[in-house]
Amino acid sequence: MKLQLKLFMLVIPTILMTACATTANFEESLNVWIGKSESSLVGSLGVPTQIIKLPDGDHALVYASNRIIRSGGYTTQSSSYNNDWNHKHSAGWSGSSTSTQQNVPLTDSLYSCQSRYIIHQGVVIATGHTGNDCKSVDPRFDVIRPLFQQQPPAG
């Protein structure tokens, strides 16, 4: 029982945080890095996936994430009973039963996010992102901080 309660206490906040995850919150989490040093960024987020040299001499640090969510791959069956209320037979009410089977195909959905930080003279001057998985939780509702989302140090 204790284990079930602990799991419940962990799962409910996670579900609530997921429901509050938005792209606007993700953009805010990127923009807190503006004005911070490149070394602080790399120290917190780790080695970037890619470094792009820009024509003006600046460069962009790119962090990319991809995940696949697999769903389906099962069969459902439903039964329904239809009464014929208009005709009474000597044995009682007549009716018919139907059973329907539906195959739900296995599907893979790709979720990705690519965040970019433009660096000028060792300082983050701009941020941007692309992808369908660029979401994060409003810090006011961030009870359990996801491991992949880190905050920059002060200063």
pLDDT higher at 145 or 47:
47
Q: Is residue 68 part of a domain?
A: yes
Residue listed under structure tokens 């369908």: 132
Q: Is residue 111 part of a domain?
A: yes
114-153 pLDDT, tens digit per residue, is 999 999 999 999 999 999 988 875 555 444 444 444 555 5
pLDDT of residue 150: 52
Residue % of the chain over a pLDDT of 70: 64
Q: Is the pLDDT of residue 39 over 70?
A: yes
pLDDT of residue 116: 95
Q: Is residue 55 part of a domain?
A: yes
The pair of three-digit structure tokens given for residue 8, joined into one six-digit string: 């419940």
Q: Is residue 90 part of a domain?
A: yes
Q: Is residue 114 part of a domain?
A: yes
Domain with 39 in it: 35-141
* Dist CA 64 CA 134 (whole Å): 10
CB 55 within 8 A of CB 92: no
pLDDT higher at 65 or 18:
65
48-66 pLDDT, tens digit per residue, is 999 999 999 999 999 999 9
* Dist CA 147 CA 17 (whole Å): 13
Q: Is residue 14 part of a domain?
A: no
* Dist CA 100 CA 104 (whole Å): 13
Q: Is residue 11 part of a domain?
A: no
pLDDT of residue 7: 46
- Which long-range CB contacts under 8 A does 10-13 form with residues at least 24 apart? 10/144, 13/143, 13/144
Look at the chain and report how many structural domains it folds into: 1
